[in-house]
Amino acid sequence: MAAKTNKRKVLWLGLGLLVALLVVGLIGLYQTATSTDSDEPVGGPIEMPSTQGDFSLAQLEEGDIAIVSFGYTYCPDVCPINQAVKRQALAQLDETQRERVVPLLITVDPERDTLSRMEEYMQFFGSEFIGLVGSQTQLEDVAARYGVIWRRVEAPDSAMSYTIDHSASLFLVNREGEILQRVLYSPTPHGLISALEHELAR
């Protein structure tokens, strides 16, 4: 009788341990899934002083798309290439489509990029290009929501004093700040053209 009781106790302990392991495993899977989701850019509002006055995504018309990128005017390569890619992509759209697209550059170097400097820089690419210069707090908030990272790299032997390494993706965003597509950096416009045509046709 005692042996049967002990066997039952062992059986129940085994079942209890199995249930506990299952629960822990499910919790782990849930946390993994939710942490993965939270790592994705969430987008959201963008409101900053700009080269065309105070800017907000909410100013866009329904169906308009902003091409959002992050960079700075002293950037030697990636940033001017990104702006040139935007310009090339816009040139491939018809006039009605172009009117629905707003190219934006948010500076990651508010220390040096004044609005007047940004205005001069954006003119190289077209009158429709808008440069945004926010405070450090505004930049950190927007960059975090769009999954953008940047870091200052000191360059004591350079006339620039420092450079900034930063994310170079382009974001297609609507007036609500919803990220419609994220376009990885490329020196050619093909990916951006494809993404714009897809979203403009919806």
Q: To which residue do tokens 């953008």 refer?
A: 148
> 182 - beta bridge partners?
171
Rg (CA), the chain: 25
Q: DSSP class of residue 56?
A: E
Count Cβ atoms below 10 Å from residue 143 Cβ, excluding itself. 19
Annotated binding-site ranges for Cu cation: 75, 79, 166
Annotated binding-site ranges: 75, 79, 166
Q: In a 3-state reduction of DSSP, which class is residue 63?
A: coil
Q: How far apart are CA 59 and CA 22, in angstroms?
A: 50
